[in-house]
Amino acid sequence: MHWQTNLPLIAILRGITPSEVASHINELLESGFDSIEIPLNSPDWESSIPTAVKIYGDRALIGAGTVLKPEQVEQLADMGSKLIVTPNTQPAVIHRALDFGMTVCAGCTTATEAFNALEAGAQSLKIFPSSALGPDYIKALKAVLPTDVPVFAVGGITPENLGSWLTAGCVGAGLGSDLYRAGQPVSRTKEKAVAFVKAYQEASQ
């Protein structure tokens, strides 16, 4: 298994509104990002996700986060979403996403949850809340997981600590409030995106 984008950093745009989607995603893509997640607890995501797919779907892996139900997966498939990020390891959600050929990044904390997600067919895992667990926890968890499973750290990842998560065995990270906070100016998104890409490149050398 491998993560299917060039940069294994997922931009989590929680709280973004439809009118902001084009400008913020443009800056992210210009900075090197090519994985975009719009969580379903964002306002009017039913408009934001189709807008993002229509404008940038050929340049990035675009999809949804906080996906809890198979019905939501079906709705997202109709919108052209290619990425499903879950906060849990609900097999029915994973199975439905796979039916549509989507990339699934399943949220988990324990080894039991991780293996349940993999058994259901998830191609990648997000370990949440990473900052509360620490890199050593992920290093220990990675020791029992199949070596080819992409693992993402999510929760409290900053440009300053990104390298420690990669060293622990993560292929990349999901970036939330340290990259994007609802209502922030586009210039701030650009500044943060550049810092994260630089940190990833330096840590990967």
Q: Is the dihedral of CA 28, 32, 33, 34 positive or negative?
A: positive
Tokens of 48: 């934001």
For residue range 62-118, what is the model confidence (pLDDT) as tens digits?
Answer: 999 999 999 999 999 999 999 999 999 999 999 999 999 999 999 999 999 999 999
Q: What phi, psi does 4 have (nearest 5°)?
A: -90, 20
List the catalytic residues.
37, 126
Distances (CA, A) of 178 to 12, 39, 51: 10, 15, 24
Beta strand spans in the chain (E): 9-12, 35-39, 61-65, 83-85, 103-108, 124-127, 151-154, 172-175
Res 1 pLDDT > 70: no
CB 132 within 8 Å of CB 168: no
Length of the chain: 205
pLDDT band of 4, cuts 50, 70, 90: confident
Please, what's the b/e burial string for 39-66 (b: 16 or more CB within 10 A of its CB; e: otherwise)?
A: bbebeebeebbbbbbebbbeebbbbbbb
pLDDT for res 2? 66
Which position has the higher pLDDT, 35 or 1?
35
Tell me the whole-structure pTM to 2 decimals. Answer: 0.97
pLDDT for res 150? 97
Q: Does domain 9-204 have CATH number 3.40.190.170?
A: no
User: Crossing angle, helix 18-31 and helix 45-56, to 10 degrees?
Assistant: 40
For residue range 148-197, what is the model confidence (pLDDT) as tens digits?
Answer: 999 999 999 999 999 999 999 999 999 999 999 999 999 999 999 999 99
Domain spans of the chain, in order of start: 9-204
Give the list of residues 6+ apart from residue 5 with CB closer than 8 angstroms, or none. 34, 35, 60, 61
CB 18 within 8 Å of CB 180: no
Give the residue among 87, 67, 76, 84 at the shortest CA–CA distance from 154. 87
